[in-house]
Amino acid sequence: MSRYRNGLPQLSGDLFLTDAGIETDLIFNHGIEIREFAAHTLLPDRHGRDAIATYLRGFLSLADEFDAGLILDSQTWKAHMHWADDLGASEKELRQSNEDAIAFISGLRDEFSGNSKPIVLNGVIGPCGDAYAPEARLAAIEAEDYHAKQIAWLAETDVDMVTALTFTQSDEAIGVVKAAQSVGLPVVISFTVETDGRLPTGQPLDEAIIAVDEATHSTAAYFMVNCAHPDHFAHILNDSPWARRIRGIRCNASRLSHAELDECEVLDDGDPVELANQYKAMTNTMPWLNIFGGCCGSDLRHVTEIARTVGGQR
């Protein structure tokens, strides 16, 4: 049964952590192949399942160490119909993958029931297309119809919320919010930006957030930015109303552009201490930020430094 669907504890402003770049960590640091970059494909295999469990236990323990809550993500970013052909999966199999992924993280939450702060089960939703270079633009009504299927699957599980992670278009984000509204799930929108701080469509981040809020009566729980280095967007953050809607950041460890990362055959894991200090600088600009994690190239080392630096400041 869902614990926090009717009241997300991270809205209190307390410190919450997320995990990091699960795919890049498992692939580059642990030598684990992930078919089509879809982490849910590891769960049916005992070794893959154990690897994900070990990875997530690190963040569950870290949250407890720093007296922080944790947003515990499901491995469902690509477990939706756009990727069915690439994955050789049927609709029934993808639905089962979503159900199994939530049951898996629910079991981990039970395992860490002694943590002092809440562990929130988060169903992750990826964009309908490439998160680095979207193939086509989706109208909001098309996006609502498309994402309603996976969101409905997740709504029938113990999940507390859903997050549209690494989204590239405001219209698609609008569709996700409306689809989540229709089944009573709290929803978070996390946009990715290019090196100029704009979405891959060219839309400025502020315009994207404002567009989503205007079209959905500000019913998204909050917004985030992920899959971009602080250098790419920290300069556009300020104390405007649109920026106050951002509660969380999950940055790449690398300064490389999305196009460069797509071609990269070695891991660029940056500097965990430098990254943590950049998070601290962003919280100086936006002291209402309270959800922190990592994305591509980052791992437990980075989030540990972030928790130490930002948590100590708070």
Q: Inform me whether the pLDDT recorded for 212 exceeds 90.
A: yes
**Largest Cα–Cα distance in the chain?**
48
Domain ranges (residues) in the chain:
15-313
Whole-number Å distance between alpha carbons of 182 and 127: 19
Q: Is the pLDDT of residue 310 over 70?
A: yes
- Check pLDDT > 70 for residue 314: no
Average pLDDT value for the chain = 96
Class of the domain covering 15-313: alpha beta
Q: What is the pLDDT of residues 173-193, one digit of tens each?
A: 999 999 999 999 999 999 999
pLDDT per residue as tens digits for the range 30-86: 999 999 999 999 999 999 999 999 999 999 999 999 999 999 999 999 999 999 999
Q: What is the pLDDT of residue 30?
A: 96
